[in-house]
Amino acid sequence: MSVWWEQLSSLQRFFYFIAIPSTVILIIQSILTLIGFGLDTDMDLDGDMDFGGDPISEFDMDLDSGLDGDFETFGGISDFRFVTFRGLIAFATMFGWIGAAFASTSVHFAITLLLALAAGLFSMFVIALLFYGIAKLQSSGNLNYRLAIGKEAQVYIPIPGDKKGQGKIQLMLQERLVEVDAITEENDVIGTGETILIVDMLNATTMVVERLK
């Protein structure tokens, strides 16, 4: 393994350094999603990247699940989120592997970088489109959101305290996984991945929640 790593160019190491960790996170995230657990997207990464013995940079990365882009697209359809934690991980994974693949060829550095960026952005778009489609399928049909009162759910997007804003929660409702808006009277923010109890409805699709005691 060490021999293989030493034989790589600095550019290849750069792309592999991004591709391998992001792939591991993507796999873990997918497994947790399949078994019904949330993934806390508050991450604080701090370290040194070293390629070929030369420290390239010291980096601080703070990924917060509040990073969320709402875009009016597709003829006025809102709630299409391009920038999400899942999307960023998909971007890093594709960016890294495509970049590493082309970095091992005679393709010019600039073209390699552009191809890697294009692949990463395309994967972000696919993820956003996929979850947008899932959300639309969930919202179609006759869901009775009042049946959610008294149920437990998981926080997907943090819910600000004191009813100062809305977050999002995920729960099983009428045998379907649905995502709905939520507010809370709790003093503190309820973070991503926390399990909450739905205690009331603010309106047709917004729940009032509280932490489990």
pLDDT of residue 24: 93
Question: Nearest-CA neighbor of 15 among 103, 100, 104?
Answer: 100
* Dihedral in degrees, nearest 10, Cα atoms 42, 38, 28, 45: 10
Record the tokens describing residue 158, joined without a space.
């943090």
Whole-number Å distance between alpha carbons of 82 and 122: 11
pLDDT of residue 142: 66
Residue 193: its H or E element: none
pLDDT of residue 190: 92
pLDDT of residue 168: 92
pLDDT of residue 137: 65
The domains found in the chain, sorted by start residue, are: 2-139 (no CATH), 145-211 (2.40.50.140)
Which DSSP state fits 6?
A: H
pLDDT of residue 64: 39
Residue 17: its H or E element: helix 10-34
Which parts of the chain register pLDDT below 50? Answer: 38-78
pLDDT of residue 139: 58
Summarize pLDDT for 156-204 with one digit per residue, the tens. Answer: 899 999 888 999 999 888 877 888 899 999 999 999 889 999 999 988 7
